[in-house]
Amino acid sequence: MEMVKTLAESLTDVRSRIDAAARRAGRAPADVRLMAVTKGFSREVVLEALAAGLSLFGENRVQEAEGKFAGLPGAWETHLIGHLQTNKARAAAALFACVQSIDSTHTAMALDGRCAERGTSIDVLLELNTSGEDSKSGFRSRDDLLAGLDAVRKLARLRLKGLMTVGPLTDDSQKIRASFSELRSLFEEVRAGLPGFDTLSMGMSGDFELAIEEGATLVRLGTALFGPRGTK
């Protein structure tokens, strides 16, 4: 019978793997941020993660995050990593430090408008669908994303910080690596003219080491830290 790891054990293992992947790529491990993806996990798991020293969290749904993070103690930051429905833009503007999943100018404009109502600003990443899978969100092509980027740059309440993608659902490491390489290439092309454009969010529990080797500055891990969803 396989022993279930504690969060402390999983965190030690994950940090060791991040360190090794960064060093393989000739990078400093400190240049890779670890996001704990708590979608599908309870508020108690978030409290345990905070106690373990984690402070950056990712959630897929606005409503789930609202109930889970309200009134939590300590210093922490939550990002929306799932698709943002425009009718949830007001709540998202109030709850998240960053929306990583901007996938259209329509969504960006809705979020900008809600931030303007609040008198606040918010960080955003643009999501590119590098896998071509219909089940995934994101701008559908490089050209679409670049057009969206030009539009977002004109929105006063959105701070454009980088790019995000979800790798393809496959065991083929070459296809996964190609997906991440595509986004890194676009990231490097864009950031030359954008101060503060410094976040390349890619890699999840099954592929984060490949993502780091291809240049990820932020990896989004759920089951690698907390185990299978539905168990906590």
> How many angstroms separate the CA atoms of 228 and 62, rounded?
21
Residue 68 within any structural domain of the chain: yes
Range of the domain at 49: 7-222
Does pTM surpass 0.85? yes
pLDDT digits (tens, 9 = 90+) for 103-117: 999 999 999 999 999
- Please report whether residue 231 resides in a domain: no
Q: How many domains does the chain have?
A: 1
Q: What is the pLDDT of residues 12-54, one digit of tens each?
A: 999 999 999 999 999 999 999 999 999 999 999 999 999 999 9
Residue 40 lies in a domain: yes
Task: Read off the CATH number of the domain in which 42 is found.
Answer: 3.20.20.10
Q: 228 in a domain, yes or no?
A: no
HEC string for 169-221: CCCCHHHHHHHHHHHHHHHHHHHCCCCCCCEEECCCCCCHHHHHHCCCCEEEE
Q: Give the whole-angstrom CA distance, residue 221 versus residue 56.
A: 11
User: Is 230 part of any domain?
Assistant: no
Average confidence (pLDDT) per 10 residues, the chain, 232 residues: 75 98 97 97 95 97 93 92 97 97 97 98 97 90 96 97 96 96 96 92 98 98 90 58
Report the mean per-residue pLDDT for the chain.
94
174 belongs to a structural domain: yes
- pLDDT recorded at residue 135: 85
Q: Is 177 within a domain?
A: yes
**186 occurs within a structural domain:** yes
